[in-house]
Chain A
């Protein structure tokens, strides 16, 4: 039986590229595509893929939150996270959420087939840097556990995690309620719980938190990137 793969990325151009990389592999089939995390979770429930490849930075529900939901929904399903950056925090969150593969977008053409093959054999796939990071984190956690130095972070529920992304994307409580099938009152309660738990006083604080914690990704203005102005 063929290995069924679901691909989720908000850019169709990237989805086309990922499909092109995988489609000719014997014994694999692309069973579906999704353009955000919420659609990925819905399609996974419907299509029952063996492997889901998820971009981290997607609208409505980001790849990390989608990984959490997918892992709960179908523990048999294996998840590869695709990301533009392998910072400690993203790696940690992805692995905690249940991802078993971690591939940098810039290396996808080289690593993605190997990653799917590894998961097919019930192994993990991590880039060498991530591998070192995971080992260092494991050793560090052991150190903290023995010295009691683990810092306390505010704990948000998975639902609050979804709400914070939608609020940070500029959606109103009413829109959040509609997207998550909640009453407006419940969405407002989630919002005030988030603000209280994190000690925020404005939506600006919440947006800054969402950006810093990779809940949403912001495109840098062109002037702040590597594009110089007109040259002589």
Chain B
């Protein structure tokens, strides 16, 4: 079954990079993009993706707030943060907001595919620099 993914980041170049990385798996489909949290919430409600790949720092509405709203309106949708914040505190906030995964941008090329794989099966995946953990249950 195809995993439908919404990609959210305020930098178009990063969205291109994420699309390229995710494009390597034929069973995954990037259904749309959003450039801020507000647009992400709107598009998630409309398109009901399986996964939202979400940045934290964005204009209009940040990723944490968007995560809370998306989880409320589309509870089946899993959130995977891809962020520059290599910080345990931010990771805890993201997970408290309802995210299932957390990946640091500088390691995205290494961690993204494994993270989407895990999150698509509703398993947590978190990775900070030098430390990653995926629940393999």
Contacts and interface: CB of A to CB of B under 8 A. Distances in A.
Interface of A: 10-21, 105-106, 108-110, 219, 221-222, 225-231
Interface in B70-117: 82, 84-85, 87, 89-90, 93, 96-97, 105-106, 108-109
Contacts of B108: 11-13
Nearest to B107: A12
Given A19-B20, A222-B90, A227-B62, A11 B106 contact: yes
B17 A13 contact: yes
A21 B82 CA distance: 20
A13 B90 contact: no
B68 interface: yes
B127 interface: no
B36 to A, nearest CB: 11
Given A18-B13, A19-B20, A109-B16, A12 B57 contact: no
A17 B93 contact: no
Contacts of B65: 228, 231
B84 A219 contact: yes
A21 B93 CA distance: 33
Contacts of B16: 16-18, 20-21, 109
A108 B85 contact: no
B88 to A, nearest CB: 11
